[in-house]
């Protein structure tokens, strides 16, 4: 049990038993490391091994010989660059929509008394429990040419011809934003809840207006949470398949769809793996970049 | 003691050996569903009974994967496999199938092009044009040229998000004679011509469909006014009273087929089975289970298929004459290249 003493006890360590405490601390680190082993094993088995396998497969051509033809094809084909650009565009648009809708909404929930905030939080989380597929088709029912929105607009005489709402970038981003909002709002709300309300009161007591306090005190303090939510949404958006496939109607071609086509149509594991590897690399790069941005934000807050 | 167990084992093995020599068991891989049910009732069920074989059924979603696994690992257990003609052409060139012995299999009554070097057709279906009967109430489109004619037939179009059958349609629309389609596609210029033709229609294509269920739905909901797609879906929509009609004129006929796995230990028996299953009688019987057309043209003379059923089957003499039988060998050779060009056009 001694070994499990919290490290905080080290700060009151006596000089004479310092060595023993250091040993304890090392033992404790070892024990807690041992506790993470099952988890690490699962991660290694389910993440690292398949990733390594992906890298491995991508380096083989269709004739089974080692070659870079899968990457060469991506460089040569005009469609691949466009597919990557579309994927990132759709991801960025989804992040923008989530920030525009999510930040005001999270601020609103944060300002409510706990009991009422639960109701609004439930409203955010409820759609989270419905299937991705159902939600995509629900949007289709609303947006398609003969859908509810167009019927109402035309019935009221607002538009003469049906608007093209479905099967485009707009519908795709709308559907993805709907799915991503809870994932964005939760970390943002978490960050907002952690803001010391004394700071807000202090600003108000010094004569800052509500909007000034919100802009200069509240938002900067919530910024790391917003950044974390945005990164999460962006990275998840890059791998979306069902929503762009249904709501994009073939007019929005993202990487995941191309990967699926490589696999199901031509059983071409190498080509699909190469796309997977590239997506992984791009995502990792962006993740590193945004992690840096977040660090800067946090350090600025501390200073 | 030990010796006697060993002896018993050898004896058992010997007995098993003689048993299997007397009663051949063929392993047959099917895509499942109605094809498996109907096939058991009218194809391999009766054929096995007649020849004195046993049939062990297996199912798989992707026949190519089964072959790659079994042939690749040198542990062939599937004797006969059902796959699309296109997949069979690929598997054949990759050396995963036995060539069909047409001395043992009588395919003389088949539609030309549906009994291939590595597989014998079972049933055919067609990629056709369908339209909304309300949008085009006065005059219905009747050819691919009409599909491309957005001035005479204004409205939203849908095509497949895959080049398969779409490039043939594009060339037919561009004035290529049905018999010359694959001659034109045999050159790089011909392929580019087909893709360019689809590109001209692109502004009017609001949806690129990816499944049969999807194009059926698009037509039923009136989301698009004209689409390419499979005959079975449109027939169903039409029978359900939807504002949908379709034509077999200039349709692209393709088929699923029986193939024999390379290295099958029952090669000769498999050929015999396929011969039985390809008879006019067997193929006609299958129409009771699936809405696909028999390829053995004799099936229409057996009296099993009613006149009403014949009228809507893609392979009937009246319908198939107006169609182009898909050249699966051309697809097996050119698929990757054509799909790449198609995708470049689609994402532009």
Task: Give percent of chain A above pLDDT 90.
Answer: 39
**Tokens of residue B236, six digits:** 């169903």
Q: Indicate yes or no: CB of A167 within 8 angstroms of CB of B339.
A: no
**CB-nearest partner of B344 from A77, A144, A267:** A77
Cβ B273 vs Cβ B289: under 8 Å: no
What does the alpha-carbon distance between residue B181 and residue B175 come to, in Å, rounded to a whole number? 10
Could you tell me the residue range of the domain that residue A290 belongs to?
67-302
Q: Which of A74-78, B78-82, B220-224, B344-348 has the lowest mean pLDDT?
A: A74-78
Provide, as residue numbers in chain B, all residues whose Cβ is less than 8 Å from the Cβ of A251: 206-208
Provide, as residue numbers in chain A, all residues whose Cβ is less than 8 Å from the Cβ of B344: 77-79
Q: Closest Cα of chain B to A78: distance in Å?
A: 6
Q: What CATH number labels B18-124+255-325?
A: 3.40.190.10
Q: Closest Cα of chain A to B222: distance in Å?
A: 7
CATH number at residue A165: 1.10.3720.10
- Residue-wise pLDDT for A105-133, tens only, equals 999 999 899 889 889 988 888 888 888 88
Task: Give percent of chain B above pLDDT 90.
Answer: 76
What does the alpha-carbon distance between residue B91 and residue B328 come to, in Å, rounded to a whole number? 11
Residues A77 and A221 in one domain: yes
Q: Quick check: helix, strand or coil at residue B269?
A: helix
Residue labelled with tokens 């009228």: B311
Residues A72 and A172 in one domain: yes
The mean pLDDT value for A31-57 works out to 89
Q: What is the CA radius of gyration of chain B?
A: 23
The mean pLDDT value for B24-35 works out to 92
Q: Which of A168-172, A285-289, B33-37, B170-174 has the lowest mean pLDDT?
A: A285-289
Q: Closest Cα of chain A to B61: distance in Å?
A: 10
Q: What pLDDT was estimated at residue A18?
A: 80
Last residue of a domain, one of A41, A58, A75: A58
Q: What CATH number labels B125-253+326-347?
A: 3.40.190.10
Q: Indicate yes or no: CB of B222 within 8 angstroms of CB of A245.
A: no
- Residue-wise pLDDT for B239-252, tens only, equals 888 899 999 999 99
Nearest CA in chain A to B210: A250
Nearest CA in chain A to B67: A267
Residues A78 and A185 in one domain: yes
Q: Indicate yes or no: CB of B335 within 8 angstroms of CB of A266.
A: yes
Residues A71 and A52 in one domain: no
For chain B, what is the mean pLDDT? 91
Query: How many other CB atoms are there within 10 angstroms of residue A115's CB atom?
Result: 7
**CB-nearest partner of A167 from B206, B210, B222:** B206
**CB-nearest partner of B347 from A82, A144, A264:** A82
Same fold, B18-124+255-325 and B125-253+326-347: yes
B161 vs A: CB within 8 A: yes
* CA B181 from centre of chain: 19
B209 vs A: CB within 8 A: yes
- How many domains does one find in chain A? 2
Q: What pLDDT was estimated at residue B191?
A: 97
Q: Which of A47-56, A265-274, A280-289 has the lowest mean pLDDT?
A: A265-274
Residues A248 and A210 in one domain: yes
Residues A97 and A4 in one domain: no
Last residue of a domain, one of A40, A58, A76: A58
A86 vs B: CB within 8 A: yes
Q: Pick from B79, B89, B38, B83: which is nearest to B60 by CA?
A: B83
Cβ A167 vs Cβ A84: under 8 Å: no
B93 vs A: CB within 8 A: no
Query: How many other CB atoms are there within 10 angstroms of residue A256's CB atom?
Result: 20
A72 vs B: CB within 8 A: no
Q: How many helices (H) and strands (E) does chain B have?
A: 16, 11
Residues A212 and A248 in one domain: yes
Provide, as residue numbers in chain A, all residues whose Cβ is less than 8 Å from the Cβ of B210: 245, 250
Q: Across-strand partners of B120?
A: B115, B258
Provide, as residue numbers in chain B, all residues whose Cβ is less than 8 Å from the Cβ of A266: 335-336, 339
Residues A33 and A127 in one domain: no
What does the alpha-carbon distance between residue A97 and residue A234 come to, in Å, rounded to a whole number? 11
Residues A11 and A34 in one domain: yes
**CB-nearest partner of A79 from B207, B223, B347:** B347
Question: Going along B133-225, which residue ranges are E strands?
Answer: 157-160, 205-209
The interface predicted TM-score of the complex, written ipTM, equals 0.76
Q: What pLDDT was estimated at residue A56?
A: 87
Provide, as residue numbers in chain B, all residues whose Cβ is less than 8 Å from the Cβ of A164: 206
The mean pLDDT value for B37-58 works out to 95
Indicate the pLDDT class of residue A61, thresholds 50, 70 and 90.
confident
The stretches of chain A forming alpha helices (DSSP H) are: 18-43, 49-58, 69-76, 78-111, 114-125, 132-143, 148-155, 169-193, 197-205, 210-213, 219-238, 242-247, 255-266, 269-302
Cβ B198 vs Cβ B228: under 8 Å: no
B210 vs A: CB within 8 A: yes
More reliable by pLDDT, A11 or A75:
A75
Res B3 pLDDT > 80: no
Task: Give percent of chain B above pLDDT 70.
Answer: 94
Residues A54 and A78 in one domain: no
What does the alpha-carbon distance between residue B312 and residue A128 come to, in Å, rounded to a whole number? 46
B206 vs A: CB within 8 A: yes
Q: What pLDDT was estimated at residue B17?
A: 45
**Tokens of residue B323, six digits:** 């169609």
What does the alpha-carbon distance between residue B172 and residue B247 come to, in Å, rounded to a whole number? 14
- Output b/e per residue, B95-117; b: 16+ Cβ within 10 A: ebbbebeeeebbbebbbebbbbe
The domains of chain B are located at 18-124+255-325, 125-253+326-347
**CB-nearest partner of B223 from A144, A253, A266:** A144
Res A60 pLDDT > 90: no
- Residue-wise pLDDT for A215-246, tens only, equals 998 999 999 899 889 989 998 999 999 999 99
A160 conformational bin, left if phi > 0, alpha if psi -120 to 50, beta if neither: alpha
Q: Quick check: helix, strand or coil at residue B223?
A: coil
Residues A166 and A271 in one domain: yes
Residues A76 and A14 in one domain: no
B250 conformational bin, left if phi > 0, alpha if psi -120 to 50, beta if neither: left
For chain A, what is the mean pLDDT? 86
What does the alpha-carbon distance between residue A170 and residue B122 come to, in Å, rounded to a whole number? 44
Q: Indicate yes or no: CB of A250 within 8 angstroms of CB of B209.
A: yes
Q: What pLDDT was estimated at residue A16?
A: 63
Provide, as residue numbers in chain B, all residues whose Cβ is less than 8 Å from the Cβ of A264: 62
């Amino acid at each position: 049990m001694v070994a499990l003493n919290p490290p905080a006890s080290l700060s009151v360590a006596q000089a004479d038993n310092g060595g023993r405490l250091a040993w304890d601390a090392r033992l404790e680190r070892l024990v807690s490391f041992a506790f993470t082993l099952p988890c690490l094993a699962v991660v290694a088995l389910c993440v690292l091994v398949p990733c390594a396998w992906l890298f491995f497969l991508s380096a083989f051509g269709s004739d089974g010989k080692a070659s870079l033809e899968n990457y060469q094809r991506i460089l040569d084909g005009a469609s691949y660059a466009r597919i990557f650009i579309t994927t990132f565009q759709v991801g960025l648009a989804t992040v923008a929509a989530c920030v525009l809708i999510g930040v005001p909404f999270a601020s609103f929930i944060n300002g409510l008394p706990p009991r009422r905030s639960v109701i609004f939080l439930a409203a955010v989380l409820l759609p989270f429990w419905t299937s991705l597929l159902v939600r995509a088709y629900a949007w289709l029912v609303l947006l398609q040419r003969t859908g509810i929105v167009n019927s109402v607009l035309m019935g009221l005489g607002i538009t003469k011809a049906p608007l093209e709402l479905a099967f485009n970038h707009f519908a795709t981003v709308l559907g993805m934003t709907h799915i991503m909002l809870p994932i964005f709002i939760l970390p943002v709300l978490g960050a907002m809840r952690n803001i010391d309300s004394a700071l807000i009161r202090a600003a108000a007591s010094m004569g800052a207006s509500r909007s000034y306090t919100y802009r200069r005190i509240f938002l900067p303090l919530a910024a790391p949470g917003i950044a974390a939510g945005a990164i999460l949404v962006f990275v998840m958006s890059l791998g979306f398949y069902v929503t762009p496939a249904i709501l994009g109607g073939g007019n929005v071609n993202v990487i995941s769809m191309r990967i699926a086509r490589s696999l199901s149509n031509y059983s071409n594991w190498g080509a699909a793996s190469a796309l997977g590897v590239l997506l992984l690399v791009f995502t990792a790069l962006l993740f590193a970049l945004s992690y840096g941005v977040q660090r800067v934000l946090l350090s600025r807050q501390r200073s | 003691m030990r010796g006697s167990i060993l002896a018993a084992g050898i004896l058992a093995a010997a007995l098993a050996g003689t048993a299997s020599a007397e009663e051949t068991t063929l392993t047959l891989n099917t895509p499942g569903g109605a094809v498996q049910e109907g096939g058991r009732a009218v194809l391999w069920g009766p054929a096995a009974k007649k020849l004195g074989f046993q049939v062990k059924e297996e199912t798989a979603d992707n026949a190519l994967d089964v072959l790659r696994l079994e042939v690749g690992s040198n542990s062939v257990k599937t004797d006969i496999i059902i796959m699309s003609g296109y997949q069979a052409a690929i598997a054949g060139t990759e050396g995963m199938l036995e060539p069909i012995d047409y001395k043992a299999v009588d395919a003389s009554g088949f539609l030309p092009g549906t009994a291939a070097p590595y597989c014998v057709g079972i049933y055919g279906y067609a990629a056709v044009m369908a339209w909304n009967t309300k949008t085009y109430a006065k005059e219905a489109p009747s050819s691919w040229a009409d599909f491309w004619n957005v001035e005479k037939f204004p409205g939203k179009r849908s095509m497949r998000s895959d080049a398969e059958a779409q490039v043939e349609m594009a060339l037919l629309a561009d004035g290529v004679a049905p018999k010359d389609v694959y001659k034109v596609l045999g050159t790089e210029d011909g392929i580019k011509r087909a893709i360019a033709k689809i590109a001209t229609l692109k502004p009017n294509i609001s949806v690129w469909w990816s499944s049969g269920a999807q194009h059926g739905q698009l037509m039923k909901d009136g989301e698009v006014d004209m689409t390419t797609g499979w005959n079975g879906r449109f027939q169903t929509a039409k029978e359900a009273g939807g504002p949908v009609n379709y034509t077999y004129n200039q349709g692209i006929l393709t088929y699923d087929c029986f193939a024999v796995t390379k290295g099958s230990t029952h090669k000769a028996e498999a050929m015999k089975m396929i011969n039985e299953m390809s008879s006019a009688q067997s193929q006609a019987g299958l129409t009771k289970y699936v809405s696909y057309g028999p390829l053995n043209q004799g099936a229409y003379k057996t009296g099993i298929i009613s006149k009403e059923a014949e009228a809507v089957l893609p392979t009937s003499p009246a319908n198939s004459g107006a169609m182009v039988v898909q050249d699966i060998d051309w697809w097996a050779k050119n698929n990757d290249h054509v799909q790449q060009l198609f995708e470049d056009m689609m994402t532009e």
